[in-house]
Structure 1
């Protein structure tokens, strides 16, 4: 009999790990405060052991709004350790809450040091719920992490039988199962039962081999997001500058504009030495690198959402403050 591929499962909490009051509790399940650790999740999904030789790894079971840079650094180091301890490891799956899943996925896709596939998985309904998506999402993620074709594609996100690129995917619905979408380009592939099939790949560069090494950092440079709206007067931008921001991402009006008073404040930020990147609140599409932005000294976020532009800008500021180099980084990753 052929040995099953070895896959590590790291549990960080989230809906995937949550236990509600009863099987109909699909909305207020966090009120119980009960979350399962990695080995407890796997025990509730016995089918997982039929698709991979499992290595459960405890981390800490929290809701995803509580996950940020310190966890990204810890997960980079943990993945590094797992690969060193298990030379035959085929892949790693990280269970994660869906609220910030896309941010953790993109941060890891830029900072991981390991070559094995790393897949993030979550669920829209708690593992205790009637018709929960947690069980099958987990199995699909394990199959994806174990698949040889998953190598070299960067960090992947798997929910609802779909495989998405960490850089491109975003959460689009509060409660629907098909919440994770890639608006401009669509899925990389699909998981149909035991079959992991790919149809395209993301062309932007990713880890390992990026210049972004966070393993010894205490924190990332402060980067804030200013959300544009009619009559925005720059108050938020000036407050972020006063708070010590080294970078500001403008979640601008499509196709990447701001009200005049907001633009004035962003120009002041640039003059003060703060790196400013223009994204858009539209959710998809490339912010054009216009003469207007150039005159203000503002960089284009390309097609990154504001939350992902914030991550890339913070990481970029750990290696350079030169505007030309920052522009090249946003065109590369």
Structure 2
């Protein structure tokens, strides 16, 4: 039986890291020993038992440093792979877990290929005792190769769990079960015997998306203002001075900014800046209350502040009309 062909793009991260020894699960980043994609596949040859997996060269970079230039390059890389590999079943992207959810959501909003894209990483370096790197990679390949993964948008696979890029977030610094979808739970699981799905996302995502970053040199500046007891609007004023075209307010639950942030944010709206109210709570919708409507603030629905920032940046590449931006937030 012919094995499905799956591409593996390595961008670095813990999954690519080699520490000082098998008990080094904390300080491995200090070694500077980060494997390229091909070396990761060689370290875990078991992956070839589930698919014909080939490495795709890409830059190794710490995940906190990954943003628009790398998102654009990944979108273009996926385009090229589908164009040059007509029998390609799916694509796996290895990524550091620190910003994995942001890259996954950016690809979910921007990728144009029909084959599944699955983003994976690990909590322990590949050199560590009981590392999760190998099994996460194998399961990500299995999910990417599964025809049932098509049409679900970009997926995230760690700890045997399949999650939607829109919904998943990192919830723990070091625990293996760190990636969770707080409001809705997993889409399915990659168990030892089979890949199983139990629900489908209903919000729009790759490849059926209106956003296209391939012709862009940059995204409009959007910043996040984090509310806390005593926050006084200094961050908002600094963001506006830096040229922000949008601000996401990471407010108190269920969705309102600190009193000191309110007037600078209202002034931003009067100046034509789009303000989206999110919450720092970690889950749940921000409700479109009477006050938020009076202020001219849009709501982030249940998107985290970091994901609302990505969607707002992309929305501003298409429109500055608040009503249209609100429609995009309700769609994606």
TM-score (norm 2): 0.99
Q: 1:104 is paired with a residue of what secondary structure?
A: helix
2-side partners of 1:102 and 1:206: how far apart? 14
Matched residue count: 332
Relative to 1, partners in 2 of residues 1:318 and 1:163: Cα closer, same or farther, differing over 3 Å?
A: same
1-side partners of 2:125 and 2:54: how far apart? 22
1:156 Cα offset (Å): 0.2
Q: Match for residue 101 of structure 1? A: 100
Unaligned runs of 5+ in 1: none
1:216 Cα offset (Å): 1.2
Q: Match for residue 226 of structure 1? A: 225
Instruction: String of CA shifts for 1:267-291, please: whole Å, max 9, x gaps.
Output: 0111111100000000000000011
Q: Match for residue 273 of structure 1? A: 272
2-side partners of 1:121 and 1:261: how far apart? 40
1:259 Cα offset (Å): 2.1
Within-5 A mapping of 1:157-196 = 157-196=156-195
Q: 2:260 is paired with a residue of what secondary structure?
A: helix
Within-5 A mapping of 1:267-306 = 267-306=266-305
Within-5 A mapping of 1:131-280 = 131-280=130-279
Whether the 8 Å contact between 1:51 and 1:139 is mirrored in structure 2 is yes
TM-score (norm 1): 0.99
Q: Match for residue 322 of structure 1? A: 321
The two structures, once aligned, show a CA RMSD in angstroms of: 0.6
Q: Match for residue 2 of structure 2? A: 3
1:209 Cα offset (Å): 2.7
1:265 Cα offset (Å): 1.1
2-side partners of 1:298 and 1:136: how far apart? 44
1-side partners of 2:319 and 2:276: how far apart? 15
Q: 2:41 is paired with a residue of what secondary structure?
A: helix
1:194 Cα offset (Å): 4.0
Whether the 8 Å contact between 1:143 and 1:194 is mirrored in structure 2 is no
Q: Match for residue 33 of structure 1? A: 32
Unaligned runs of 5+ in 2: none
* Deviation beyond 4 Å, 4+ runs, structure 1: none
